[in-house]
Structure 1
């Protein structure tokens, strides 16, 4: 499909890739990983031809259809509706639709065979290209990415950058390319949209290459992991969890080889030194020296995931109640967010605030942090509470002419320079890095500086809004370790499920305009939430049976016989539904198996069968509802 051979790409004097190789095959679902600056996004640009290799080659079939999502698409501007922008994916269908409309207009005055034949040909091609369903498909994908029916009619220009990126993603998915190149596709998605995209990509029949720092997302989709490191591409035949285990095993072998080789080198050097001055051993010594020079050296294993020993300092602990919220109501024009709701944050709480975008997470966080006072009710800080609020807009508050170290010294004068350098080292700023000017840093580096500032504050309560944005996996891991060692209280908004699972002991979510709490980890909440959904979707027959019997007129003999017959049909239908539900669930399990999703042909067959059986299941449920209504009417 795509063959990368001996690829070298240089930026100035630095070789970002040095004779790297990778063959992307049909059906591959690959995660391209590596530290920030390792060249992941650059490699995608090389594949699509935005950049040219210094040497080596990237070859592919001429008719290969590539769908490429990258952050540059944020600059796309249109005053047309997002539905129209998404449907731009159907270039040929749109062209045919326009031509058909023109021919139909001509047909009002010209009934010639030529016009009729042209119209017939266009309509046949339009139908063959599934043109009559393209609007439905566009609606479906936009809805999956979080757009309501009304929002789909709004112009693209009225949406923020994150929402515009979703429209670009919808357009790319609608193109049904042979291969998808996705650069951080979850960056602008909330949790429901991320889960929808996971399901979509699991069933996608083409190849996929994903650059992402969301390890849960990668684990659910990819069947290969490709690590970009030190100019090379190393391939692991499994998902991200497999990569971690396999890499650990490889590094253990490499570490043992390195130790053994070093011991051998020292032994040889001692031997050479011992006999260097003896003329009779000169030939042997020279032979040993040449052998050492020719020896292929094994590299020492670099620690990509350093352990962090983060010492937080706050001068006084808070009281038991950190934040008490009573009768909170908050609304915007035409949108009510919270209504007469209460909540309590207690000392030691590690709260993850989750939910779909637009449900009020950031609004609630600002109320908690006293950054929004335009609401009804009261939000009160407890005894001795000292707070730090981290949000993405604070990156703009960094002083661009300061060095990284100067920025922290000015913010946290109580800390010594040694302490601050140790903290910056935890955030991957080591050695002379601390003297870099803020203005030359990347978005991810600025985010790490702002986080380091937040964590050096004399605060026993942290309010963190999307702290994992712009962080690579190593940096997310460092933040996790830092927060695990934090003895204070915090509330955090993030869409990174791995991060949430490792830092939170309580989950907050907004439902029916109320703040709801689940007292457990994110994984426990997910399992509990899934059970709630299943329970809500159980057939309504249970409710019918549990409802108190109403006093009604005695049925006639004909009605009794008909009721008896209908109830038998209902019982038979329920049995079919139960069997069909088991079949559908079994097919879902099959679709999640590696031997199925890694084989494009098998995946296509299983997906087709799953869709067919799911449609049958939906039909049985609809039949059941109609029959249940008939029985209720007969029972009067």
Structure 2
């Protein structure tokens, strides 16, 4: 279908691709992955002919039809309705429709057989091309991508960049190409639209090449991974999860080969040193030197998964209640977002706020952050809460004349240059990159600087609006590690399900203009949601369980006071136990962080056993604390 042979592509003195080879076969669904800067987008542009290779060939079938979604399409403007723009995909059908309309107009005065025959031919071709269903097909795909019937009649120019990109995606899908090239297709989609696109691509009969940092999306759509790495294109026969397993196995083998070869080289070098001084052995030494020079060296394995070596600390812990919202209502002209709803964010919560676009997620974040004051009800921030709010518009607060490192130093003066360079490295700014001026950075690079700033703040409450946009898979992993070790409170909006599943312990979603809560991880929420009856206002599991509980017997006032006192005493003892367990867990983590322990198998097993035991006891104690706290709140209420 498409064959790339001995591809070399150079930018200045740097070879982005060096004799790379890749054959794309019909029907393959491929994830093209690699760190930022390894040339994934460039390769797509080479395939479609936007860029010319330095040398090598890209050959393909003469009549192949390529559908290419790229970020440049954001600049496309039109005053036509989005339904009309999407239907531009049907070029021949539209042309025939116009010609048929013109012939019908002529037939009002001209009844010639020639004109009637021409009309018949045009109508026959139009019917063969399924022209009568094109509006329905366009409507169906736009609806899948989140556009209501009313919105489909609106002009494209009235939509934001992200929504315009959806229209471009719809137009490409409607062209029914032989191969789809999709560059970060989920960047501007909400979760329902991502799931719709997954189902569409799974059923798509042509070939697909997807550049994406969304590993869940790749797992559900692709059956092959191609990694762009060190100028080569390395194939893996499976989805992203298979790629991770297979790559780990390959690297284990490569590491073993490297160590064995290094041991052999050291042995040879010792023999050469011994033989070199003896005249009788000099010839043998020269022979071994030549053999060493000719030896094809095995490279050591590069660490593609750097870990966070940066301490995210804050000087003051918050009180138990971080934010308390009561009777919140918020509306825009002709649109009610929230109505008499409430929510409480508690210390240590890591909340994923999810749902379709337009439901009010970003609005709710602004209310929580205190940047939106135009609402009814009350939103109160708790004791000692210090907040950092990351959103795409925060890019405007960057100082354009600052260098990247200087921007972080002025914002977080307590951190050393080494610490700040470390976190900038996590977000792909290494070496002299840190001395670039903010004004020369792309939108994606500015976004990463703003995110790095947010994570260096002396804040015990992080509010993150789409933090994974413009991050590659490695950087998303770094952000996950950072938030997992962060001891404060987090609420995040993201369409990256892997990110959400790894950072959240609670799910918030907006339904019927109310804030609803699911007490668990994103994966658990998804499982519950899949089994949830399609009934409006279905309560979350915690609410359902409370409804099933039998009413307790009425207590006298004295009995209630004694019972409450006993519960509060138990809660206090449990809090002391949790504090001790947390301290023990920290010590157990320090033992496991000591590299020397990994040389002693017995000590490592004992340390792991101790760590898991403490972790299990802590989880049990925390669960018991939550149950007790709920009982006390119910009695006090």
Q: Which TM bucket (shorter chain)?
A: 0.7 to 0.9
Q: 1:63-82 alignment to 2 at 5 Å?
A: 63-82=63-82
Q: 1:574-593 alignment to 2 at 5 Å?
A: none
**Map of 1:365 onto structure 2:** 365
Partner Cα separation in structure 1 for residue 482 and residue 356 of structure 2: 27
Partner Cα separation in structure 2 for residue 17 and residue 39 of structure 1: 8
Partner Cα separation in structure 2 for residue 425 and residue 407 of structure 1: 15
Partner Cα separation in structure 1 for residue 254 and residue 444 of structure 2: 31
**Map of 1:526 onto structure 2:** 526
TM-score of the two chains, using structure 2 as the length reference: 0.83
The answer to whether the 8 Å contact 2:309/2:422 transfers is: no
- The Cα shift of 1:133 comes to 0.4
Partner Cα separation in structure 2 for residue 493 and residue 6 of structure 1: 43
CA deviation string 1:562-589 (max 9, x = no partner): xxxxxxxxxxxxxxxxxxxxxxxxxxxx
SS at match of 2:532: helix
The 3 A distance-change label for structure 1 pair 73 and 410 is: same
- The Cα shift of 1:493 comes to 0.4
- The Cα shift of 1:400 comes to 2.8
CA deviation string 1:394-448 (max 9, x = no partner): 2232223322221111111122223323333443444444333333444443323
SS at match of 1:476: helix
Partner Cα separation in structure 1 for residue 193 and residue 354 of structure 2: 13
The answer to whether the 8 Å contact 2:512/2:537 transfers is: no
**Map of 2:318 onto structure 1:** 318
- The Cα shift of 1:252 comes to 0.4
Q: Structure 2 regions of 5+ residues with no counterpart?
A: 539-637
The answer to whether the 8 Å contact 2:399/2:407 transfers is: yes
The answer to whether the 8 Å contact 1:309/1:482 transfers is: no
TM-score of the two chains, using structure 1 as the length reference: 0.83
Partner Cα separation in structure 1 for residue 36 and residue 422 of structure 2: 21
Partner Cα separation in structure 1 for residue 477 and residue 423 of structure 2: 15
Q: 1:363-402 alignment to 2 at 5 Å?
A: 363-402=363-402
CA deviation string 1:472-509 (max 9, x = no partner): 00000000000000101010000000000000000011
The answer to whether the 8 Å contact 2:319/2:383 transfers is: yes
Partner Cα separation in structure 1 for residue 533 and residue 76 of structure 2: 38
Partner Cα separation in structure 2 for residue 13 and residue 274 of structure 1: 43
Q: 1:160-559 alignment to 2 at 5 Å?
A: 160-533=160-533
- The Cα shift of 1:534 comes to 5.4
**Map of 2:575 onto structure 1:** none
Partner Cα separation in structure 1 for residue 25 and residue 103 of structure 2: 43
- The Cα shift of 1:338 comes to 0.5
Partner Cα separation in structure 2 for residue 283 and residue 416 of structure 1: 56
**Map of 2:579 onto structure 1:** none
Q: 1:613-632 alignment to 2 at 5 Å?
A: none
Partner Cα separation in structure 2 for residue 225 and residue 440 of structure 1: 33
Partner Cα separation in structure 2 for residue 389 and residue 98 of structure 1: 53
SS at match of 1:198: helix
CA deviation string 1:139-188 (max 9, x = no partner): 00000000110111111111111111000000000000000000111111
Partner Cα separation in structure 1 for residue 449 and residue 155 of structure 2: 37
The 3 A distance-change label for structure 1 pair 163 and 230 is: same
The answer to whether the 8 Å contact 1:29/1:224 transfers is: yes
**Map of 1:42 onto structure 2:** 42
Q: Does 1:30 align with 2:20?
A: no
The answer to whether the 8 Å contact 1:310/1:485 transfers is: no
Partner Cα separation in structure 2 for residue 325 and residue 20 of structure 1: 56
- The Cα shift of 1:379 comes to 0.3
The 3 A distance-change label for structure 1 pair 426 and 69 is: closer
CA deviation string 1:80-117 (max 9, x = no partner): 11101000000110011111111111111122211111
The answer to whether the 8 Å contact 2:310/2:419 transfers is: no
Partner Cα separation in structure 2 for residue 171 and residue 491 of structure 1: 35
CA deviation string 1:350-369 (max 9, x = no partner): 00000111111000000000
Q: What is the Cα-based RMSD across aligned positions, in Å?
A: 1.5
Partner Cα separation in structure 2 for residue 343 and residue 368 of structure 1: 10
The 3 A distance-change label for structure 1 pair 278 and 446 is: farther
CA deviation string 1:39-89 (max 9, x = no partner): 000000000000111000000011000000001111111111110100000
**Map of 1:604 onto structure 2:** none
